Each structure stands twice: as C-alpha cells, then as structure tokens.
C-alpha cells in the first residue's frame, strides 16, 4: 500500500508522485442562437423527421502546466471558435453525408430554403466528435501543445446531451 501525506508545495509525496491536471471550461448555452435542424435517417423513430434545437456546447480544456497568467486556457481565446460554431449551427440544416435523401436537401439548398451543412454523421455524439476534431487543433496550436481539449458536450435541452472525449494525451 503506497500512500502518504501530500505536500502542498510541490505535490510530491515520499512514495508517490501526483500528476496535476488543471481544467477550464467554456460553454455556449441554449441562448447563444445555435439553432439548427437535422434528421437522423438511421433512427427507427420520429428522429428520422426533420427537427431542431437551440443547441448548447460545452468545452473542457486540460493541462498539466498553467501559463504565466496561471490559466489553463484563456476564456477569451475562443472568438474564432464561437464564429465557427455559428457558421456551422446557426440557422443551418445538418445532413449526414450518407443520407439517402441528400439530393433532395441539395435541391432545397439550391432553392435557398435551407443553409445546408453536410457532416460525416448526425446526432449529438457525432456532432460532438466533429466539433472536437476542429477545436482540439486550435487549442493545441494556440498553446504550443500545452493544453488539450478533453471533451465536448452537445446539449439538445436540459434533458438530453452527449459527450465526446479523447484520452490519447501523453503527459509532458
């Protein structure tokens, strides 16, 4: 059994070294205006039908080392991400690339009836993964690899959400 008292100054005990992880979060709530619609063509329920939500998005960033300001990830460093989320999710129609009705959606877009976004998959989990892929790169580049994006949560409403997490980070 290896446990002993953690020292408050350097977080090192005589028998075990603790790795510190700091996290910071950024959330865009339902009132952000990320109001999009979609259908989940693979669902065997009414989720096949076009429906929509004012989505909320939550990011969790993590690091083992704070910056010179004692911050994990600057809350204000996500303006380009916010703009990107709006371009993706604000008054848009999200359709899966493999949706068999894709030609009809293209017709609606050509008629300027929808602002179409074609993604690899539709649904909160798939959307969380898609958003993660984009924002993880930004967080890494802005911090020279100090910070990684731990998770993205996409929330339809207070009752329904999905979280995508990636656990491939190698501590440095």
Ligand X SMILES: Nc1nc2c(c(=O)[nH]1)N=C([C@H](O)[C@H](O)COP(=O)(O)OP(=O)(O)OP(=O)(O)O)CN2
Q: Which residues bind ligand X (CB under 6 A)?
A: 40, 45, 47, 123-125, 156, 159-160, 162
For the CB of residue 121, give the shortest distance to ligand X in the complex, in Å. Answer: 10
Least distance to ligand X, CB of residue 162, Å:
5
Q: Select 17 or 46, whichever has its Cβ closest to ligand X.
A: 46
What's the rounded Cα separation, in Å, for the pair 149 and 18?
21
Asked whether 78 and 26 are in contact (CB, 8 A), the reply is: yes
Calculate ∠ Cα 96-131-111, nearest 5°: 40
45 or 70: CB nearest ligand X: 45
Which residue's beta carbon is nearest to the bound ligand X?
Answer: 123
| C-alpha span between 80 and 151 (Å, rounded) | 18
Give min distance, CB of 119 to ligand X, in A. 12
Per DSSP bridges, beta strands 93-96 and 35-38 are: parallel
């Amino acid at each position: 059994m290896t446990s002993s008292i953690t020292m408050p100054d350097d977080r090192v005990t005589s028998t075990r070294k603790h790795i510190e992880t700091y996290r910071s979060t950024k959330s865009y709530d339902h009132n952000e205006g990320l109001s999009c619609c979609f259908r989940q063509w693979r669902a065997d329920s009414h989720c096949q039908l076009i429906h929509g939500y004012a989505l909320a998005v939550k990011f969790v960033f993590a690091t083992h080392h704070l910056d010179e300001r004692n911050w994990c990830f600057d809350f204000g460093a996500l303006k380009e991400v916010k703009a990107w989320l709006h371009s993706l999710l604000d008054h848009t129609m999200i359709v899966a690339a493999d949706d068999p009705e894709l030609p009809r959606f293209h017709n609606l877009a050509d008629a300027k009836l929808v602002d179409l976004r074609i993604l690899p998959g539709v649904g909160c989990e798939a959307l969380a993964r898609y958003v993660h892929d984009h924002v993880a790169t930004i967080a890494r580049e802005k911090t020279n690899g100090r910070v990684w994006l731990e998770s993205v949560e996409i929330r339809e409403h207070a009752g329904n959400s999905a979280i995508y997490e990636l656990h491939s980070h190698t501590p440095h």
